[in-house]
Structures are given as structure tokens and as C-alpha cells.
Amino acid sequence: MPTPYLPDLKTTKAELTTPRTRIRITTRKHRITNARKPAHITEALDFWSFAGSAANVVLQLGWPEVAYGVMESKVESGSLMHHPWKRARTTTQYLAVAILGTEEERNAFRDAVNTAHRHVHSDSESPVKYNAFNKELQMWVAACLFVGFEDSHQLLHGMMTAEEAEEFYQSAKPLGTTLQVPDSMWPATRADFDHYWNIGCERVVIDDTTCDFLNDLIDLKMINPLLRLPFVNLLRFLTTGFLPPLYREQLGLEWTDDDRRRFEHLFTFVSAVNKALPKSIRFGGSRMMMRDLRHRIKHNKPIV
């Protein structure tokens, strides 16, 4: 086995700080009510929450073991570059079942993913050692998913209080435990997660091969040019805006104060529109994913 992926979180002090490892969010709540709603990740499934999906892939692939596991994967049917729509469907479906699914549905999805993951491991030619069943790697991916949901939720609905942030965080545990991450690996509190995240970001290394791969992803190179061209500039802008400074620097992405203000203004507008939409539209995509999953399970069709 390779050296453990992370240092001991109880004894190591992270050198990186949150301003370097997270994006800055200053969005205020739309209004204050006397009856506070519980903060739960089920409330973070607005379709605009997926505006940072490409950025979240970049976060995950910041760890070389995850990056090469994706880039060298022998599971061609699930390849991001060869089958982008199928990969988008399975990823979105995983998020839906982790957050909305029953234990039985999560188990069915886990079994299907495990079948694919058996083929994802390094060989003698790989520059780093990796295995898709490694719990540390899965914990990192789950942590990235949580960061994406927390960022987008606060951009759309305003910053959470410390109490709300803790509730939201605790409800997000299935993002990891739906696969191989045991309860004990999920940092106990929201503050512990910050510590974990900053230490984990110390391991982010984007080499030239990964950088080229990620830039192709950001530029939608895997999609037909006729479909890609109208959206490529917007996607690059959104992706860059959702990336922490640490990642922008390693990818060589420019982000000015004017860019930051445009990003914030965009989400001020989007959040106002989003608030006016009925839940059937805001959460329709995730609910559709759950209906499709239940249909696949019922009729014994492939899940991934």
C-alpha cells in the first residue's frame, strides 16, 4: 500500500487557510423570519446548484490519485470524455440517491458503482498509485461534493449561521457513506471539516497532463462543437468563479476583482429568480433522476 493519503488530522496543523481553499461568499439572506427553517442538504438541490459541476470535478481531480484514476480508467462506458452525457447522468443520479434515496436504493446504487470501480486501479505504467475503493480517496471526493453544495446553496440563499451550517453539514454525510466512507471518517463537526479540507488541499497537485485534461473539460471539448460554442464562455466563467484561489493558480486561470463582482452580481440576479420559482421546477431535475433510478431498479436495468 502507498503512504497514507492524509496526515493525522488530530496532530497536524494545516498551513493553508480558508481564504486560499474556499471561494469568498458574502451573499445575505433574502429575509429574516421568526420561524427558522432547518438547514438540510435536501434544500440544496436547486437546478442552479449544478452550475459549479465542472468546478467540482476540478476540485476532486486536484488529488493526483483521483485525477489519474479518472484519466486512466479502463471503464470506457463511463468515461467523462467519451460518454459525457452518461457520466453526467450517473453523477447527478448518485447525488440524488445519496440525498433523497432510501437505504435500499443507496445499496443498489453502491453495488452498481462497485462493479465499475473494480476496474479502476493503477498499473505498472501509472505515475501514481490509486484504487477506486480507497476510502481516503472517496472521502476526498465526498468532501468536494459537500463544498460544492454548500457554496452554491449560500450563493443562492445567503450565508448560513454557524448553527445552520452545522445542521447542513451533518445532513450531508450520505454524500460519502453511500459508497465506502464509514461514519467514523466523516469529520465530526463543521469545524473539523474545515481542518480536514485545508489539510486535504495541501495535497492538491495539478501537473501538465491533468491541467490539459481539466482545461478540455472546462472548454467542453468532449461535446459536439455546435452544442458547445454557445455555452463555453459562460461555463469557463462559472467554473473559474467556483474554484478557490489555490486551484485557479495551479490551472493558470485569471480572476480579477471585476470578474468577482460580475460573478456575485450574476448570483444576486439568479438567486432572486430562483426564489420566485416553484419547488417543482427548482428540484425537478433531481426528482426526475430518482424516478429514472427507481425505474431501472424495478425493471432490472443497468444503473451506471
Instruction: For residue range 210-234, list pLDDT tens digits in order.
Output: 999 999 888 888 777 777 788 889 9
CA angle, 80 as apex, 222 and 226 as ends, to 5°? 20
HSE toward the beta carbon, residue 71, CA cutoff 13 A: 25
Would you state the cell numbers that stand for residue 145, as one nine-digit string?
A: 461534493
Kindly give, in sequence order, each residue whose CB lies less than 8 Å from that of residue 53, ignoring residues fewer than 6 positions away.
Answer: 88, 91, 148
So what's the pLDDT on residue 228?
Answer: 78
φ, ψ at 212 (rounded to 5°): -65, -45
Give the residue-averaged pLDDT of 271-292: 92
160 pLDDT above the threshold of 50: yes
Asked if residue 215 lies in contact with residue 77, where contact means CB atoms within 8 angstroms, the answer is no
Q: Per-residue pLDDT tens for 67-117? A: 999 999 887 665 666 677 677 888 999 999 999 999 999 999 999 999 988
Cα–chain-centroid distance for residue 74?
22
Cα-atom radius of gyration of the chain, to the nearest Å? 19
Grid look-up 449544478 returns 50
Please report the pLDDT score of residue 82 as a whole number: 66
Mean pLDDT throughout 177-202?
A: 95
pLDDT for residue 267 is more than 90: yes
Name the residue ranges covered by the structural domains of the chain. 39-298
121 DSSP β-pair partners: 131
Using the Cα atoms of residue 53, residue 54, residue 59 and residue 63 in order, give the sign of their dihedral.
Answer: positive
Q: Which amino acid is located at 220 in the chain?
A: L
- pTM summary value: 0.90
Backbone φ and ψ of 273, nearest 5° = -65, -45
Nearest-angstrom CA–CA distance, 62 and 205: 6
CB 81 within 8 A of CB 280: no
Supply 194's cell numbers: 474545515
**What does the buried/exposed string (b/e) look like for 76-104 if buried means 16 or more CB atoms within 10 Å of the residue's CB?**
eebbbeebeeebeebbbbbbbbbbbbeee
Report residue 33's pLDDT band, with 50, 70 and 90 as the boundaries: very low
